[in-house]
Amino acid sequence: MTSRARRIRAVVVDDEELSRVLVREYAAAHDDVEIVAECANGFEAVRAVNDLRPDLVFLDVQMPKLDGFEVLELIGPDVGVIFVTAHDEHALRAFEVHAVDYLLKPFGPERFAEALDEARGRLARAQPTPVSRVVASARPAGAYLRRILIRTGARVDVVPVGSVDYVRARDDYVGVVAGGRERLKQQTLADLERQLDPARFVRIHRSYLLNVDRLTRLGPATRDRFVAVLEDGTELPVSRRGYARLNELL
């Protein structure tokens, strides 16, 4: 390495200690790589990325509590990622389609070096990770979100989709409302809608996505407007198209 080579600060995330040791051992052969933290689960990973601002994360896919794709969603597109995974056809297809670096267990130092070279190039080009596309491609067909993960700094709230009353657009965020409490998540309403079961969550307005289990009454507000009344008395606007969608579902 030249003295002007970019220093890469990396975090290793894997619930298996031997796997973390192996990545650290292989990384030690590369003078431009510094392992700044090791994490045994996804929650630790989110905190480490928030606190340390690394350039690169070696991220295991199969982990308890939060899997690798959930961690990816929480840390966002600006951190370089090399996924580490056992064979998983959906994950591998997602990585190959979107040109995301990955290591297939078991791997040796040569394959590690190849993935690291690819990551160096992406970092040099400041190329963001296509988070939404990777996560969507890795999910099996017909599988929908079971929980919504919301990050506030190093804190992660896990909101089961069944507890969500509705979601509304908030500029570059969505407001996820559950039990009268609203939590902000940096995501578009359209993106979240694609991840939720359409038999349960309906776009009733350009700015609102409703959990139909919370609906108690649907009716006109004025001649040209409709309103959805929820169990707690909340009233949400319903567009003509949203009204038609609800009628089809109900």
Write the CATH number for 213. 2.40.50.1020
Using the 3D structure, point to which of 79, 103, 138 is the last residue of a domain.
138
Same domain for 180 and 210?
yes
Same domain for 114 and 197?
no
Mean residue pLDDT across the chain = 92
8 A C-beta contact, residue 197 and residue 246: no
Whether the predicted pLDDT of 144 surpasses 60? yes
Asked whether residue 24 is assigned to any structural domain, the reply reads: yes
- Model-level pTM greater than 0.75? yes
Cα four-point dihedral sign 132, 135, 140, 146: negative
Same domain for 97 and 162?
no
Asked whether residue 175 is assigned to any structural domain, the reply reads: yes
Same domain for 163 and 125?
no
SS3 223: coil
Same domain for 130 and 151?
no
Asked whether residue 156 is assigned to any structural domain, the reply reads: yes
Same domain for 122 and 52?
yes
Whether the predicted pLDDT of 130 surpasses 80? yes
Q: What is the arithmetic mean of pLDDT over 64-75?
A: 93
Whether the predicted pLDDT of 1 surpasses 80? no
Asked whether residue 240 is assigned to any structural domain, the reply reads: yes
Using the 3D structure, point to which of 110, 138, 166 is the last residue of a domain.
138
pLDDT band of 88, cuts 50, 70, 90: confident
pLDDT at 57: 98
Asked whether residue 33 is assigned to any structural domain, the reply reads: yes
Whether the predicted pLDDT of 4 surpasses 80? no
Same domain for 183 and 206?
yes
Using the 3D structure, point to which of 138, 168, 191 is the last residue of a domain.
138
* Residue found by looking up tokens 């003078």 in the block: 31
pLDDT at 5: 62
Q: What is the arithmetic mean of pLDDT over 132-155?
A: 88
Q: What is the arithmetic mean of pLDDT over 53-62?
A: 96
Q: How far apart are CA 245 and CA 92, in angstroms?
A: 36
Higher pLDDT, 154 or 47: 47
pLDDT at 2: 40
- The set of long-range contacts for 93-102, using a CB threshold of 8 Å and a minimum separation of 24, is 93/137, 93/138, 94/133, 94/134, 94/135, 94/137, 94/138, 95/134, 97/133, 97/137, 98/130, 98/133, 98/134, 98/137, 100/129, 100/130, 100/134
What are 155's two structure tokens?
């804190």
Q: How far apart are CA 68 and CA 149, in angstroms?
A: 13
Q: How far apart are CA 30 and CA 118, in angstroms?
A: 14
Q: How many domains does the chain have?
A: 2
* Residue found by looking up tokens 């609800």 in the block: 246
Which residue segment(s) compose the domain that 25 sits in? 8-138
Q: What is the arithmetic mean of pLDDT over 129-143?
A: 86
Same domain for 14 and 133?
yes
Whether the predicted pLDDT of 3 surpasses 50? no
